[in-house]
Structure formats: structure tokens, C-alpha cells
Amino acid sequence: MPRILFLAALPFALQAQSTPWTVRTDPGSRDTVSHVTMPPGWHITTGPGALVYDAANTATGRYALSLEVHLFPKPSREGYGIFLGGRDVEGTNASYVAVLMRGDGALQVARVTGTQQQALLDWTPTTAIKPHPGTDDTALNILTVRVDPDSLRIDGNGSRVAAIARGDLVLDGTFGIRVGTGINLHVTNYDVTRRLAPTPRRR
């Protein structure tokens, strides 16, 4: 399985350093976002919401993305997770689909174009997503999305959460991480699997 590596073999002296990925803050924001390599993985702390991505990371056709992420204490009510199907992500009219978790264990799917957002799945509580416990601990979740010709399928920690009809959704394009306002998290893995076999039909 192809994998986006997070440089876990860096020596201790380099455990916090900037990354080559782009951090694009939401339009109109003047605040900053911290995104550093900190093995094992990357640490992201937001002021404003942002897209975090490498423009070279694109996917088309049938593919899957899996994000392993630890949410730190005092999370905001904003979402965090995967974006995919990104177009013009460096411009002011970026478009993408976001699959987001929230600190209370809810999940949302939204289509974003510029500053406009259309909910494909409103915030929905699910036992498949672990909420933050409200203590000094972190909440660990693995969010997986699978793109098929007819649908976008979403799993939380190995359990199916939702399936969204593909319709006119554009899911070919740039992928990366979407982090809302006031979030503190650590990504320990981000996998991409391309050229998937067709999904078996469930009887």
C-alpha cells in the first residue's frame, strides 16, 4: 500500500521542524497555523481553519485515504479530518469535499467551494468516532474514506459510518488534511491506496 511517510526516523534534535507541505488558511484570515514534523508524525495547531497538503498528492478513479489522528485536550467545536477532490486549492475559490470528525464524536461530510459550504451529511453523532474524553488524554481516531464510481464510503475506526451517493461530486484531485479553527492535533499516519478493486456488493 503506498504510504505518505512522516519521517519517524529523524534524530531527537530534529523532532520539531517545518514541513514541505502547504498550509492554506481560510480566506480572510490573518492568523497563523503551526504545522511541524514531530515524529512519529506531524503536529498541527490552528488559529484559523486551514487546508494542509502537498500539491503533488493527487488521486483519481477508485482510491482510499486513511488518516490516523490524535485530538488533544480543550478541542474547539470545529471539525478535523480529510479533504479530497481538491481543485484550485491554492486559489481563493478552492473546491473540495471534506469528511470531518468533531471532539464530541460527530461526523460531517461537506462540499466546499470558496466560502460556500453544502452539507452532504449534517453533523451526526456516531459510536464509530471516539469523542474527546475532556481530560488531559487524547482521542485517537482512524478515519477512512473510499471513493467508488457510485459512492463515497466512510469508516470510523473500522466501522462503516456513512455512504454518500456520488452524484455530481468531483472526487478526483488533490487530497490532504482539513483542520478547523482552534484545533490541536497530531497525525501519526496518512495512507493512500490507488487503483482499488471494485467494492463487492453486499447481499
What is the value of pTM for the model shown?
0.87
Residue 99 near residue 145 (C-beta atoms within 8 A) = yes
Identify the structural domains of the chain with CATH numbers, from first to last.
3-194 (2.60.120.560)
Residue 105 near residue 131 (C-beta atoms within 8 A) = yes
Cβ partners under 8 Å of residue 33, min gap 6 = 23, 25, 44, 45, 46, 47, 48, 50, 52, 179
Give tens-digit pLDDT for 85-143. Answer: 999 998 888 999 999 999 999 999 999 999 899 999 999 999 999 999 988 899 999 99
Give tens-digit pLDDT for 154-198. Answer: 999 999 999 999 999 999 999 999 999 999 999 999 999 987 777
Residue 139 near residue 124 (C-beta atoms within 8 A) = no
Radius of gyration of the chain (CA): 16
